[in-house]
Structure 1
Amino acid sequence: MQLMQKQIKIRDLKEYDEIKDNLEYWLSRPPAERVNAVDHLRNQFHGNPVRLQRTARIIQLTHS
């Protein structure tokens, strides 16, 4: 089991830009982690409804 490390950053609230800080953080993460985070947020917002799985079949036509 991996333990999380504590991180503390002291900032001046007048100069702190939360949006920029969040953008820098997410751009530093690997693409797979970012996609997983978006999928997690989507599931929290919309739920995870049970759906039918899409299937496709390729049918070869015979030439007569």
Structure 2
Amino acid sequence: MANDLLAAAKMDKSLLTVGTFDDDEACEYWASRTPQERMEALELLRMICYGYDPTTARLRRVLEVVELGEG
């Protein structure tokens, strides 16, 4: 799922659009999206901000050093 989100977020650098920084348009856009689409966008922003490392999704191994007794 995470790789799909990152692959879908690739930027099309062949298109340039100039727009405003009007918050009303952004609010209307996100209000028109489904809760699932909003959560996917939130997860994408989290991965962009904090990075994505699939190895961190696994459980950590806990090791304990034990001294062997004589005998």
TM-score, normalising length from structure 2? 0.46
Q: Which runs of 4+ in 1 moved over 3 A?
A: none
Unaligned runs of 5+ in 2: 1-18, 60-71
How many angstroms apart in 1 are the aligned matches of 2:25 and 2:45?
19
Between 1 and 2, higher relative CO (CA 8 Å, sep ≥ 6) is seen in 2
TM-aligned CA distance change 1:18 to 1:46, over 3 Å? same
- Percent identical: 31
TM-score, normalising length from structure 1? 0.51
Q: Does 1:42 align with 2:57?
A: no
How many residues are paired up?
Answer: 39
RMSD between superposed Cα atoms in Å? 2.2
